[in-house]
A and B are shown apart, each in its own frame.
Chain A
Amino acid sequence: AQKVTQAQTEISVVEKEDVTLDCVYETRDTTYYLFWYKQPPSGELVFLIRRNSFDEQNEISGRYSWNFQKSTSSFNFTITASQVVDSAVYFCALSERTGNQFYFGTGTSLTVIP
Chain B
Amino acid sequence: ETGVTQSPTHLIKTRGQQVTLRCSSQSGHNTVSWYQQALGQGPQFIFQYYREEENGRGNFPPRFSGLQFPNYSSELNVNALELDDSALYLCASTKAGRIETQYFGPGTRLLVL
Contact surface of A with B, Cβ cutoff 8 Å: 4, 31-33, 35, 37, 42-47, 50, 52, 91, 95-97, 99-107
Q: Which residues of B contact A95 (CB under 8 A)?
A: 98-99
B102 nearest in chain A by CB position: A102
Interface of A is mostly: strand
Q: Determine whether the beta carbon of B45 is less than 8 Å from that of A101.
A: yes
Question: Which of B42, B56, B107 sits near A101, CB closer than 8 Å?
Answer: B56
A99 with B56, Cβ < 8 A, contacts A45-B43, A91-B43 known = yes
Number of residue pairs across A and B with beta carbons under 8 Å? Answer: 65
- Do residues B98 and A104 form an inter-chain contact, with CB atoms below 8 A? no
- Report the contact-size class of chain B (Cβ under 8 Å from the partner): 20 to 34
A109–B32 Cα gap in the complex (Å)?
27
Q: Which residues of A contact B101 (CB under 8 A)?
A: 35, 47, 50
Give A88 to B80 CA distance when docked, in angstroms.
Answer: 33
Q: Which of chain A's residues have a CB closer than 8 A to the CB of B88?
A: 43
Q: Which of A43, A47, A104 contacts B107 (CB 8 A)?
A: A43
> Shortest CB–CB separation between residue B84 and chain A, in angstroms?
17
